[in-house]
Structure 1
Amino acid sequence: MPTIVCPECSTTNRVPEDRLADDPKCGRCGARLFQGKPVILTASNFDRHASAELPLLVDFWAEWCGPCKMMAPQFEAAARSLEPHVRLGKLDTEAEQQIAGRYGIRSIPTMILFKAGREVGRTSGAMTASQITAWVRSQSRD
């Protein structure tokens, strides 16, 4: 039964694997656990989301980055196709420099796929929604 962090209140929820597609709600605040869009990641919620059992794909980006801005709608579209099996999140490297430094982010956009707190894949450069989805699925094979 994977742990899923609420995108609204950051409470950890357990949802049976066969119920992930049933639009589960947070046991604490009642928010939908999957909202069809990336979660905004900050210093206060990053580690909780990254350590959850549900895989997390993080887009490390910055407001000044042209390729990041071009990829943003593609990343959101990928969230709609990858949920509820993968959580997508965005981390602003300018606002959260300590986290970006922890993962050695040198170029953006960079995406890192986490599973249970462990980095399992990394890629840099803008991608389309279908490329993002294909890359995540290729990294998720056990």
Structure 2
Amino acid sequence: MSGEIVVCPHCGRRNRVPAAAPGVPRCGNCHQPLPWIADATDATFAAVAEQSALPVVVDLWAAWCGPCRMVTPALEQVARDLAGKLKLVKVDVDAAPMLSRRFDVKAVPTLLIMHDGKVLARKSGAAPAPALRQWAETTLAGIRSSTG
């Protein structure tokens, strides 16, 4: 897992962000949190999603799914807006049949919010970025209130 190149939204510096790592990715130049967007498979899901220090939005999607393609930019915007607070992990259900069965995916896109390996929230279907952000922030607030 060499990592994806992410341009810092604060200073424009290019940074390599690994799919799985301890802590929160930060810009090497300005030290601001970076958006964390990664792909996972049946084989990598535990390391990429379940062992993440941050809460994870899991996008269970398929390449043939029109609504999945529509929701991708909205999810990526939420990941940018909430950089340092959550991680977006994308799972192609056709390439990850074990995860599809595990999470009982009946329709795509199916979105999950996980923390410490547990599913805290679930949503099916596409939604605009503001609705997805509100859903994520409400769930994140519940995590903070139960741990704080």
Task: Decide: shared fold, TM above 0.5.
Answer: yes
Query: Normalised by the size of structure 2, how large is the TM-score?
Result: 0.74
Gap regions ≥5 residues in structure 1: 1-5, 26-31
Deviations 1:66-92 (A, max 9, x none): 100111111111110111110011100
1:13 is paired with a residue of what secondary structure? Answer: coil
Aligned residues: 124
* 1:13–1:51 distance in 2 versus 1, CA, 3 Å: closer
CA shift for structure 1 position 46: 0.8
CA contact (8 A) 1:37 1:76 kept: no
Deviations 1:95-127 (A, max 9, x none): 111111111111111100000111111011101
Percent of aligned pairs sharing the same letter: 28
Question: How far apart, in 2, do the equivalents of 1:37 and 1:128 lie?
Answer: 20
Gap regions ≥5 residues in structure 2: 1-15
Query: Normalised by the size of structure 1, how large is the TM-score?
Result: 0.77
Question: Does 2:131 align with 1:122?
Answer: no
Question: How far apart, in 1, do the equivalents of 2:19 and 2:124 lie?
Answer: 30
Partner of 2:37: 38
1:126 is paired with a residue of what secondary structure? Answer: coil
Question: How far apart, in 1, do the equivalents of 2:75 and 2:117 lie?
Answer: 21
2:18 partner amino acid: E
- After the TM superposition, which residues 90-101 of structure 1 pair with which residues of structure 2 at under 5 Å, given as runs? 90-101=90-101
CA shift for structure 1 position 14: 3.8
